[in-house]
């Protein structure tokens, strides 16, 4: 007798292998997505830095403020709002994930842009114009 098809045991073994591979790959996929969002956040910071330098060229000074959120800074710069890579929407003052903080040392004419990771506490990038 010539049977065609797979036995139940063969199907269970294949399903177990697929499940094991999925369990191993899923954390790597989530980590890759997080790294991509952090890279996008770096791009936003560099774009904000370019806007600040353009503002300085037009006005001969940087916007006043200390610990300004990106939403507040965008209003001072009068530019199109930036998108937060972690939330997928425009930056808002209360954002913690991917937040960007602007501070100006007006005496030295230096500003600092600090970008925070998804958890809102670990610094991802800090740029100073000095």
Q: pTM for the full model?
A: 0.78
Structure tokens at 127: 């740029």
Tell whether 3 is covered by a domain: no
d(CA 113, CA 124) in angstroms, rounded, equals 11
User: Going residue by residue through the chain (130 aa), what tens digit of pLDDT does each one get?
Assistant: 667 888 999 999 999 999 999 888 888 888 888 899 999 999 999 999 999 999 999 999 999 988 899 999 998 898 999 999 999 999 998 889 999 999 998 788 899 999 999 988 899 999 898 7
Which residue range forms the structural domain that includes residue 72?
8-128
The number of distinct structural domains making up the chain is 1
- Would 22 be classed as within a structural domain? yes
In a domain, 53, yes or no: yes
Q: Do the beta carbons of residue 58 and residue 123 sit within 8 Å?
A: no
């Amino acid at each position: 007798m010539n049977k065609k098809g797979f036995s139940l045991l063969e199907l269970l073994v294949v399903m177990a292998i697929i499940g094991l591979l999925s369990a191993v790959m899923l954390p790597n996929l989530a980590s890759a997505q997080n790294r991509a969002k952090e890279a996008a956040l770096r791009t936003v910071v560099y774009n904000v830095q370019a806007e600040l330098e353009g503002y300085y060229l037009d006005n001969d000074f940087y916007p006043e403020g200390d610990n300004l959120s990106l939403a507040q800074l965008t209003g001072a710069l009068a530019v199109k709002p930036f998108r937060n890579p972690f939330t997928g929407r425009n930056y808002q003052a209360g954002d913690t994930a991917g937040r960007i903080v602007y501070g100006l040392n007006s005496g030295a004419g230096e500003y600092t842009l600090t970008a925070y990771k998804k958890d809102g506490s670990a610094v991802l990038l800090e740029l100073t114009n000095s």
